[in-house]
Chains A and B, each alone.
Chain A
Amino acid sequence: MKAKLFTPMTFKGVTLKNRITMSPMCMYSANEDGKVNDWHMTHYISRAVGQVGLIMVEATTVTRQGQISPRDLGIWSDEQVPGLKKLVEGIKAHGSKTAIQLGHAGRKAVYKGEILAPSALPFDDQGKIPLEMTDKDIENTVHAFKDGTRRAREAGFDIIEVHAAHGYLISQFLSPLANKRKDKYGGARENRFQFLKEVLEAVKTEWEGPIFVRISADEYHSEGNQAEDFIFYAKEMKKLGVDLIDCSTGGIVRTPINVYPGYQISHAEMIKRKAFIPTGAVGMITSGLQAEEILQNDRADLIFLARELLRNPYWARTAAEELGEEINGPEQYKPAW
């Protein structure tokens, strides 16, 4: 039987040639204009040459105020579209599909002016105290996600991923650790989900293609969201037409995390089984056998590779060899593949 890692998967008419996904990773390599430069072209396209099925571009901020760092890629201006378009075309030329992760850092933003969050609580002792978002701030931010989606569409991306993980803005709204609001956006989990719901509805006004959402499915805190909360969120997202939940963990509070091979897979498995929605597994997945085990046991549907792809852009070839599969590499590399 063919290794599942090398079988296609289709989301709303977009077929990935295999289950290998390049996880979004901040490159901190853009200039202050947030535009794609030579580094991004080389970095992403080389993984497409390496036969990754889906290349997901790093967290790309929908407002300047929401940058994780001043060196993030941005999608807050129409001037950023041509660079992204060129990048998309470069990736697609090698048979990979393209995704972009849209994000806003909220209280974790590195920005000279005021920063925004659901509540005026800093991330940690050294963190800047954010402004509690007004209804108008929320409306503007939701609109920024909508505009970012439109620009992603114009750039030709196949898939949108909404970044609702790692303690950034949407994750802050979801978590009782960061969201102390008393209005319709805070309190019960239904209310904490409201902001993400509005973001997804705004995204859908500009986007008919597949939508992924990355969540931190474990906040590593007894007062944070628990498994049943994430199952609830995942079910709600499914109702809203989300195609896959990309299951990461942590980042909402500063706490040590016990990291070991596949340490986040159980969360992808839990969401998949309890919310009946495809999931992506991420976190210290390094070998073809490990990836195949996850897929064959239906613990997740896509394998998100992060650092392993930084070490080995041709990981697909390595994994294929390990699993006894033959894959088509670039014509030019055939003598060696």
Chain B
Amino acid sequence: MFKHTFYYKTDIPQPLETIWPFFQTNENLAAITGFPKIKVLGDKEVFKGSAVHLELNFFIVKLNWKGEITETADRKYFIDEGLKIPFPFKSWRHVHAFKRLNSNGTRMIDRVEYTSFLPPFIVNLLLKGMFADRKRHLKKTFGSF
């Protein structure tokens, strides 16, 4: 079993007041994730205790992801933790942190603490690809600096 913490940073040229509410809906999180395609089966909104129940579509196979929002602090961060998650993950704790850069900019920092059956150099490649794709979607939606 491998244990690792993965970080990813995304700067968005929109104020925190716009970005924070955008990330308070699981549907938007799904909309900006290109691969795997995500279908929201659980709660629509992000709040403490809400169910993160997703169907991940890898084209050849569909996997279910079950988790929960365990913590949220207004306009600062929220945390989702995996409860029943697919291979290669054994555990998943994802801190979505938000920081005001200036009146017109927001920095998102994703910190994923995971344990997996595959070594980090492989898992991180997957995560990096996923977050980079999300960054592209965010750029399309909100522009870039």
Binding site for B on A (CB under 8 A): 1-4, 7-15
Contact = CB atoms under 8 A, between A and B. Distances in A.
B141 A7 contact: yes
Contacts, number: 42
A15 B28 contact: yes
Given A1-B13, A2-B13, A10-B28, A15 B22 contact: yes
Contact of B14 (A7, A11, A12, A13): A7
Given A1-B13, A13-B44, A8 B141 contact: yes
Contacts of A10: 18, 21-22, 24-25, 28
B26 to A, nearest CB: 9
Contacts of A8: 18, 22, 28, 141-142
Contacts of A9: 18, 21-22
Nearest to B142: A7
Interface string B43-57: 011000000000000
A1 B25 contact: no
A12 B28 CA distance: 12
Contacts of B18: 7-10
A8 B143 CA distance: 11
B71 interface: no
B27 interface: yes
A13 B144 CA distance: 24
Q: What bracket does the count of chain B residues touching chain A fall in? A: 10 to 19
Given A1-B143, A7-B142, A15 B14 contact: no
Given A1-B13, A2-B13, A9-B18, A15 B25 contact: yes
28 contacts: A1-B13, A1-B145, A2-B13, A2-B141, A2-B144, A3-B143, A4-B14, A7-B14, A7-B18, A7-B141, A7-B142, A7-B143, A8-B141, A8-B142, A9-B18, A9-B21, A9-B22, A10-B22, A10-B25, A10-B28, A13-B24, A13-B25, A13-B27, A13-B44, A15-B22, A15-B25, A15-B27, A15-B28
Contacts of A14: 25
Nearest to B25: A13
A3 B45 CA distance: 27
A13 B142 contact: no
Contacts of A1: 13, 143-145
Contact of B143 (A2, A11, A12, A13): A2
A288 to B, nearest CB: 15
